[in-house]
Chains A and B, each alone.
Chain A
Amino acid sequence: MPSIMPNSSNSSKNKYLKLFYQYFVNHIITLTILTIMICFLIELLRLGPIEILNIFNSLKFDQIQILCSCFLIIFISTIYFMLKPNTIYLVDYACFKPPITCRVPFATFMEHSRLILKNNPKSVEFQMRILERSGLGEETCLPPAIHYIPPNPTMEEARREAELVIFSSMDSLFTKTGLKPKDIDILIVNCSLFSPTPSLSAMVINKYKLRSNIKSFNLSGMGCSAGLISIDLARDLLQVYPNSNAVVVSTEIITPNYYQGKERAMLLPNCLFRMGGAAILLSNKKAEHKRAKYRLIQVVRTHKGGDDKAYRCVYEEEDREGKVGISLQKDLMAIAGEALKSNITTIGPLVLPASEQLLFLLTLIGKKIFNPKWKPYIPDFKQAFEHFCIHAGGRAVIDELQKNLQLSSEHVEASRMTLHRFGNTSSSSLWYELNYIESKGRMKRGDRVWQIAFGSGFKCNSAVWKCNRSIDTPVDGPWEDCIDRYPVHIPEIVKL
């Protein structure tokens, strides 16, 4: 027993009380069954073996009754196994590692900004202030077309970037999983802002000569949370098609969307969005359960688009000079908070342990009946999950969520470090964060991961995964060469 200091005896008493309560409530079913079995056993022992034999002989079992009971049991189990949803396995995933020639240090970014916006020093000043507080590092990457003065955002360059990112990730995925292109049954590509014809999914099918009966989908315009929407779609499809492989490609193509004007609200994405992409292999094949990394437990999607303010908060439009950009409203954080609350309300009952749910219910009842001034109980999500992947949309988003969910800095470390090393890579950032956790050797069998993404609309989507097998370091991926340098301390303001 550790020695307890007198002045902290109260808090440690509380701690033990809390632990006892949690254990009791979470395992109540087990405890109940255990109690019943013990009572039964005691009763049996009390009766003695001869008495038991007598009772057994008095029960007249008809042959038919026995047969029917057996059939009933078999029938019920068959129905159960048929109606059970297919387990969705995440076999493996690959994140895109940008080439070193695409790196954009702060000094280069600011220099280009000054040269291109030489008539708008206020806008340059604004970009500098954003960059200083952004939480990005010196190794984030922009596509080759943006390194030109002025940038060269042609469609050809955009396609080139798409080919570079998507094909690179797919090749990496094929190597890691041994998947053959002909074995892909479902292909879902999501890229919000670049949607050419033929689609990016057609581009993938063309490059890898995929089967002609492939089920392919291309999701565009759905923002940074589109990655989880694709996972949700893949899950639904894998319920319908047995024994199939689904490949999900999440990316955001920066080239055509680099804002070339001077409106401040629209310059913000230029400072934060960076090149990135990920390819994920999902499967419902039973054989994959040995080598799959994760199992999909839940996907919860919340859409606040019904509220006008939420709808307009991330809006793509033309500025006064006709240049297209994405403008972010000032109430973005508040709306994100609201969307998160909505999502939590739905996901809470599905993932929280019984102890937390009971407490939440009791405080809710108490508030309604006894005293409205009672503080609402914020369930402790750390009980439900070991790891958190919060979309690295920006420093403010991560800070907001850390506060709302009462997470420690270790929980949000993956998100912060991904923002520092790769910037905001939009829908693929969740995968870079997951890879960070794996690369640090923290992912053990049975660990549960919560991925939360926000996106225009305004949407808040989350996915829950359970780790299927412990993942050993070193992990092949984008963090391979730099994981030892992390975590780094990111100052509030980087002096430029």
Chain B
Amino acid sequence: MSENKVTLESKLTVVSSRPVKSGKTHKLSGVDHAMGYHTLHLIFYYKNEEKWFGSFELDPLRESLSEVLSIYPTVTGRLAREKEEDGGDWEVRCNDAGVRVIKANVDCTIDEWLSSSAFGFDETQLIAWDDMPHDTSTWSPFRIQILQIYHFNSTIPLDNSVVFTHHRIRTNQINKQFQEGGLAIGLSCSHMLSDLTFASSFLKSWSQTHRHYPISHPPFFNPITPNNINNVPNSSSKPQTIITSSTNNIVTATFKFPSSIIKQCLSKIQNTTCSNATPFDFLSALFWTRVTHLKPSKVHNQNHSLSICRDFRKLVKPSLPIGYFGNALHFSNLSIKVQDMENGQLEDMANLIHKHLKEVTEEEIRSSIESFETRKESTPKCMYGSELTCVYMEEEESASLLYESMFSNSEKPAHVSCRIGNVDSEGLIMVMPSSEGGFARTVIVMLQEEELGKLCNDQEILKLEPTIILAGCLVQH
């Protein structure tokens, strides 16, 4: 097993710079309740070449976090259940309690971390999460992780005064011994409160506040649906609040595809079946077919299905702004007969996916929102991974959201990665933008360990020369 490269240093609470007016609460929508089974984790890696990061005590980064939290009162609030008479649903009490921040040290350089596919650089170590307890009043639903990536230079003689006391390393002595290698800022939250778009917009707002720029995606707290939908009091029993993490052996690997290769493949598709094909269509088709290959084979006349998760902020009228607080996710199912997948070409699959995405209508989305509303009281079930799920992020927008979260005027994140907690065994594929830009994409795959191992050695995928990083499984070339 990998040696533990990550040492937890300390835990603190950061509060907003201005007090929140007491008494505000934010009701969570039906979609939010439905996502309650999962957790969301975003990690932004920075090289910190301009040394904009200090110690996070009283430095500008901490101040800018406090500033930005003043306009996100729901991020510093606490989850609670409404009173029984009002429905007993989840809500966020904006009580100004602050957000938990975990500081940790990682013992290697950022380049090492982001380039090696050797075992031991598993991102799960970077995520310090504890599950929602029964009493949510003192549990911070949002957590920020500040991970200082140091490299302990063993050639420098160790000063006797460096003392490691119970994982707490004295910072001022460390700065002399370690050579800095970068920084990772992680944001974790319960999926009930935020989806990927909101979480990234929060981090972008923080980076903009830090550089004294106006915020491009301010938070939006109005509900999707008007509150006069009658909640039929359900006679079902009180749902359990404690979600235990799944015992599936799900691990992650990240595939970074270079822009040139994707462009080539895309032009091939555009010339044949689908003239408007996007990198998402191509990559989701590719991974769908390859992952399906690894699963136990199905009988003819059965179907392979793919669940596609997309953000519907722009698909409803009136459209929701990016800063909409909560989940604006729509899950749709795409089925294909077993023999069609076996006989068909990649181009046909891409075309199929493309058409499916284009054909989603506002009525479909509205009706799924309403059905979630009526199912509010039932226990949230697994949304990602009970069938193979693919997450679609709107191309240009997400690139700007993720890769323009810059804390210094010239340094973009070296890499942004995203993980979902409690994914079920069928797996999850996320097609995300890449630091390279253009047609380059980063595909994050979460599967069972042996399946992922096989996937990393799959010839069809390796043909496209991806760089495989942050793999939780053994990768042999």
Contact = CB atoms under 8 A, between A and B. Distances in A.
Given A107-B97, A108-B97, A114 B12 contact: no
Interface stretch (A97-105, A372-380, A452-460): A97-105
A164 interface: yes
Interface residues of A, number: 24
A343 to B, nearest CB: 37
Contact of B15 (A103, A115, A149, A152): A103
A102 B66 CA distance: 10
Interface centre among B13, B78, B96 (most CB of A within 10 A): B13
B66 A100 contact: yes
Interface string B1-40: 0000000001111111101100000000000000000000
B57 A108 contact: no
B167 to A, nearest CB: 12
A106 B12 CA distance: 16
Contact of B12 (A149, A160, A164): A149
Contacts of B13: 108, 111-112, 147, 149
A477 interface: no
Interface string A125-161: 0000000000000110000100111001000100010
A105 B98 contact: yes
Interface in B50-84: 57-58, 62-63, 66-67, 78
Interface in A66-113: 99-108, 111-112
A152 B13 CA distance: 13
A152 B96 contact: no
15 contacts: A101-B58, A103-B66, A104-B15, A105-B15, A105-B19, A105-B98, A106-B96, A108-B13, A111-B13, A115-B138, A144-B57, A148-B11, A149-B12, A152-B10, A164-B58
Interface centre among A102, A104, A105, A156 (most CB of B within 10 A): A105
Nearest to A137: B19
Contacts of A103: 15-17, 19, 66
Given A105-B96, A148-B11, A139 B138 contact: no
Contacts, number: 67
Contacts of A99: 58, 63
A100 B98 contact: no
Q: For chain A, what secondary structure do more than half of its interface residues adopt (helix, strand, loop), or is it mixed?
A: helix
A99 B170 CA distance: 23
B17 A147 contact: no
B343 to A, nearest CB: 59
Interface of A: 99-108, 111-112, 114-115, 138-139, 144, 147-149, 152, 156, 160, 164
Smallest CB-CB A-B distances: 5 pairs: A107-B97, A100-B17, A138-B19, A107-B95, A105-B96
B12 A156 contact: no
Given A114-B138, A115-B138, A156-B170, A108 B15 contact: yes
Interface of B: 10-17, 19-20, 57-58, 62-63, 66-67, 78, 95-98, 137-138, 168, 170, 172
A139 B15 CA distance: 11
Nearest to B70: A100
Nearest to A154: B170
A111 B140 CA distance: 10
Contacts of B14: 101, 147
A48 B97 CA distance: 89
Nearest to A109: B97
Contacts of A147: 12-14
B63 A101 contact: yes
A410 B95 CA distance: 31
Contact of A100 (B11, B57, B63): B63
Contacts of A114: 137-138
Nearest to B11: A149
A111 B138 contact: yes
Nearest to B59: A101
B19 A108 contact: no
Interface centre among A101, A138, A149 (most CB of B within 10 A): A101
Given A103-B15, A156-B170, A148 B96 contact: no
A101 B19 contact: no
A98 to B, nearest CB: 10
